[in-house]
Amino acid sequence: MTSYLPIAASDDATVVATYDPPTRQAAGYQSEAALEKELIAQLQRQEYEYLPIKEEADLENNLRAQLEALNGIRFDADEWARFYSMQLANKAEGILEKTAIIQANPAALVLVRTDGSQKNIHLFDKENIHRNHMQVINQYEVEGRHHNRYDVTILVNGLPLVHIELKRRGVELREAFNQINRYQRDSFWAGSGLFQYVQLFVISNGTYTKYYSNTTRFEHVKGQNSGHKKASAASFEFTSWWTDARNRHITDLMDFAKTFLSKRTLLNIISRFCVFTSEKNLMVLRPYQIVAAERIINRIRIATNYKKLGSIEAGGYIWHTTGSGKTLTSFKTAQLATRIEGVDKVLFVVDRKDLDDQTKKEYETFQKGAVNSNRSTAELARQLSNPAARIVITTIQKLSNFVRATKTHDVYNSHIVIIFDECHRSQFGDMHKAITKAFRNYHLFGFTGTPIFNENKASGSSLAIRTTAQVFGDRLHSYTISDAITDANVLPFRIDYVNTVRAREGVEDEEVAAIATEAALLDPRRISQVVAYILEHFDQKTKRNEHYSLKGKRLSGFNSIFATASVNAAKLYYTEFARQQENLPAERRLKIATIFTYAANSDEYSGDGLLPEEDFNAEALSLPDREFLEGAIADYNAMFGSNFDTSANNFGNYYEDVSKKMKTRELDMLIVVNMFLTGFDAKTLNTLWVDKHMHHHGLLQAFSRTNRILNSVKTYGNIVSFRNLEKETNDAIALFGNKEAQGITVLKPFADYFSTYVTKIDALRTWEPGAVIASESQQNAFIQVFGELLRLRNILTAFDEFEGQDPLSQRDLQDYQSTYLELYRARRKQSEGDVERINDDLTFEIELMKHVEVNVDYILMLVERYRAQHEAGSRAEIREEIRRVVKSSPSLQNKLDLIERFIESVSVTGEIDQEWEQYLAEQKAAEIEQLVREENLKQPQTDTFIDMVFRRGRLVASGADIEIILPAESLFGAGKNSRIARKQRVIEKISLLLDRFRGLGAPANAESYAVADAGEYV
């Protein structure tokens, strides 16, 4: 009998594999009402039921009907009244309690029936998601502190679980975010409080669309109520873009609706890809995290069906850059793997020093007793023998000890999924061999931010297995540092290289480099100078004068890690900091701690770049080193009233306490050798001082300690290197991101920003400080110039060179800022009536610096590489890379066709920059000629007018200039050829032309022109 096997087995993916947006047909103006109508029509095409519900009584009646249908029952009047008032709409329960109900498994409440019996009433069927009924309502009205009317709400079984807030195209996306915050204060709690069940929020202005969880909003409002406004704006940073599986953004609202709001995708996200943490935060996974989890689950199923267990084909690895949330992804994957029929157990393996208190809490919340934290393997053995323990969280070290000590065990024959949270060198040698020899029916998966490739594998290693792929199998998904910075999921780095060894006259730099051995670098004079430099610049680098709130506590600035080259170096630096701070007042001294142990392999120059692993046992230190560490810990005890030491039982507690105090910013600086440079996440950390050689894996891992997003005050990861690591940095970024990725991950040099800043100051001097600006056009010009100046100034304050060099005095800055704030608020009040602005204006300007875009220089580098490549396959890959980076950049998306045509036209030889400028000029001239022909405009008046628009960087919508270019027509004519209709079309077309060519070349860059007379054209 012939049998047929499927080529591949897979459930429908939650994230679409690839999505190419359709060509847009509409060209006319779209109001917010029209956008809302278009969205609802799209949802109806996706089998959502539309309901004309506008008030609570109708919402309650529909909810009752939907729950009766889902649960196959009929409530009598008394049952429903009790269930609704005491369970569903309990006044004592708020956002967190209602989120806990929806995120529980099952999402159900107990109904006490009239006859005294009890029944589980399911609110959401998570096992069979297609049984859930989807409905959409709009313009729902509620009366709270103020009368509010919500845009679009998605009901799941009658409960509002997703709310969508819309703004018309051209309005800033943050406006929708702020609107939802106002609803939180004013009305979500009003009436029966059903809108506190909302799990996800979607914000869109048609052009851009993002999503986020309910507690992002909740934490935002809590931060505001605490009185520290700078922290409140942080939550907008935790809104997420939706993408396809290739990390290409899906931003347009209609495209977002077709993908994210498809019924299966949305229900999957709510039911499977949210994590309600022990700290009562709802975390919704980003698309790349969902893709990774589902691809692992799919690999488990396929490998099981094809009987590939125990082989490399049964596993794989996920390359997600450091800081992108690998632990959350791997933890969610472990949860989902436990639900697969036939899987007996999931082992979630972490490094001992990565298993912090917060991680333990999350694992324990999922399964009581999942974490074993003692040194003995006996507890691990009991868990592995217990069939009820579906998930076991253990450390690399303990699993290794168990395998070595236990020759036979039932678990070795069980169907096991082993997930390594951070797969690095400790799994590449004897550990890997021992596991694959002991276990027989396993899947082996690894998560890493810095894979080992052929380019960075250890040279001269005796290991038979050297690369990540050789250890774990296929790469299942990638999300590189370039992707993460483009998405604003991590911050870019700003790197200062501080030269500490200068050549004497007659000595060449190469000669200095040759003698700059560790002994020379530890010269007391150099150590003293480095410490003095850090103390002098510490407040500036860590933004000590900026304030924010963290978990209800007011903090000033951020903290830092100092990475030293050896235990001896750490000791010397710790001692010198103490000496130089000895005579400072207590309130001015930095709180500094140190931690180190013995590293069996101190070779920092290994080919793979992995940092040496320090033994977690301080007893392995030499006697002088251990005595020094005891003294440093005694200082720590005196500082914090603790009682730690280097004994075997107490050193681990010291490590955990240091970790906790770094995360709460109670420590200003931690001096380390290798500890805390990998796997440690502290959002309050923004600066890494470096005095050691690093490259490849170790360098990027260490740098990435600084670039976790926290709030609007933290704008980048700050690296201050006392050694020249520029080549190593570029190599690491090229290896672990795109080849030219350093162009978008490192900020530009000081001189580039400063020259533009001076130009802005010259433009600002058009107005006297504190002057009353009466003209509306002048007011608009002032707001634009000063806003741009503020953004530049925020970057410049991080550069050493800026200190004492600001051409703008503090008094003038204050006066200009007063004018700016008054004008800005007045304009907002005019456009919004008396609606309160949530955002602090200055904070708003600061936060704009978070967005880092791929620029034209970067694209032209790719084009140059495309031209140099002769193989068809490689050229196709580069073209696809260009498409990806252009479409991921908001400012370049509408220029894709221009760039693609340029690629086709580029010559075999010649200067790319010159060809690009010539091409742009020709294309722009052609499109202007087409506009003139279509609208019968006057020449040369049109060329003059458009040239003026491009020089100013903005279009005049009123005034006599635009009238001059129009043909002679009756003002009162009718139809599309009337003067009014033609004028509106011309304005729209020139606006599109400006947006299309702006930022592509010098003529379109408004920032290169003085704006002293710009008011005339606003």
pLDDT in tens, 489-510: 788 888 888 877 665 555 455 5
- Whether 14 maps to a domain, the answer reads no
**What is the rounded average pLDDT for all residues in the chain?**
80
Residues 295, 198 share a domain? no
- Cβ count within 10 A of residue 625: 19
Q: What is the mean pLDDT of residues 898-924?
A: 79
Show which of 479, 505, 526 is a domain's final residue: 479
> Taken in order 986, 991, 995, 998, is the CA torsion positive or negative?
positive
Alpha helices in 72-173 (DSSP H): 77-82, 95-103
* CATH code, 161: 3.90.1570.50
Residues 447, 344 share a domain? yes
Residues 419, 323 share a domain? yes
Pairing mode, strands 669-672 and 559-564: parallel
Top mean pLDDT of 245-254, 373-382, 453-462 is at 245-254
pLDDT the model gives residue 980: 78
- Whether 979 maps to a domain, the answer reads yes
Q: What is the mean pLDDT of residues 355-375?
A: 56
pLDDT the model gives residue 445: 94
Where does residue 112 rank: exposed (0-12), middle (13-18), buried (19+ CB within 10 A)?
middle
Residues 643, 518 share a domain? yes
Q: What is the mean pLDDT of residues 925-944?
A: 88
- Whether 386 maps to a domain, the answer reads yes
How distant is the alpha carbon of residue 104 from its chain centre?
27
- Whether 26 maps to a domain, the answer reads no
In the predicted structure, residue 842 carries a pLDDT above the cut 80: no
Residues 262, 151 share a domain? yes
pTM across the whole model: 0.69
| 8 Å CB contact between 283 and 277 | yes
Q: 417 or 1006, which is more confident?
A: 417
Q: What is the DSSP string of 625-654?
A: HHHHHHHHHHHHHHHHT----SSHHHHHHH
Q: What is the mean pLDDT of residues 926-944?
A: 88
In the predicted structure, residue 55 carries a pLDDT above the cut 60: yes
In the predicted structure, residue 234 carries a pLDDT above the cut 60: no
Top mean pLDDT of 202-216, 372-386, 490-504, 998-1012 is at 202-216
Pairing mode, strands 282-284 and 345-350: unpaired
Q: What is the pLDDT of residues 586-615, one digit of tens each?
A: 888 999 999 998 765 444 444 556 666 666
Structural domain that includes position 515: 493-738
pLDDT the model gives residue 730: 75
* Total residue count of the chain as it appears in this document: 1018
Residues 568, 716 share a domain? yes
Three-state helix/strand/coil letters over 527-579? HHHHHHHHHHHHHHHCCCCCEEEECCEEEECCEEEEEECCHHHHHHHHHHHHH
In the predicted structure, residue 307 carries a pLDDT above the cut 70: yes
Q: What is the mean pLDDT of residues 713-726?
A: 85
- Adjacency order of strands within the sheet including 559-564: 493-497, 717-721, 685-691, 559-564, 669-672, 592-595
- Whether 883 maps to a domain, the answer reads no
Residues 517, 472 share a domain? no
- List all residues 6 or more positions away from 204 whose beta carbon is below 8 Å from its beta carbon: 35, 164, 165, 166, 167, 173, 176, 210, 253, 256
Where does residue 529 rank: exposed (0-12), middle (13-18), buried (19+ CB within 10 A)?
middle
- Whether 209 maps to a domain, the answer reads yes
- Whether 485 maps to a domain, the answer reads no
Phi/psi of residue 670, nearest 5 degrees: -120, 120
The CA distance from 194 to 133, in Å, is: 17
In the predicted structure, residue 198 carries a pLDDT above the cut 50: yes
pLDDT the model gives residue 569: 93
- Cβ count within 10 A of residue 576: 18
- List all residues 6 or more positions away from 610 whose beta carbon is below 8 Å from its beta carbon: 424, 425, 458, 696, 697, 698
Show which of 444, 479, 514 is a domain's final residue: 479
Model confidence band, residue 988 (pLDDT cutoffs 50, 70, 90): confident
| 8 Å CB contact between 682 and 662 | yes
Residues 655, 587 share a domain? yes
- Whether 745 maps to a domain, the answer reads no
Residues 471, 391 share a domain? yes
The CA distance from 850 to 954, in Å, is: 24
In the predicted structure, residue 848 carries a pLDDT above the cut 50: no
Residues 663, 536 share a domain? yes
Number of independent structural domains in the chain: 5
Residues 453, 424 share a domain? yes
Show which of 684, 716, 738 is a domain's final residue: 738
Q: What is the mean pLDDT of residues 735-751?
A: 57
**Percent of the chain whose predicted confidence (pLDDT) is above 90:** 33
Where does residue 217 rank: exposed (0-12), middle (13-18), buried (19+ CB within 10 A)?
buried
Q: What is the mean pLDDT of residues 705-723?
A: 84
pLDDT the model gives residue 562: 97
* CATH code, 384: 3.40.50.300
Residues 304, 235 share a domain? no
Q: What is the DSSP string of 821-839?
A: HHHHHHHHHHHHTTPPP-S
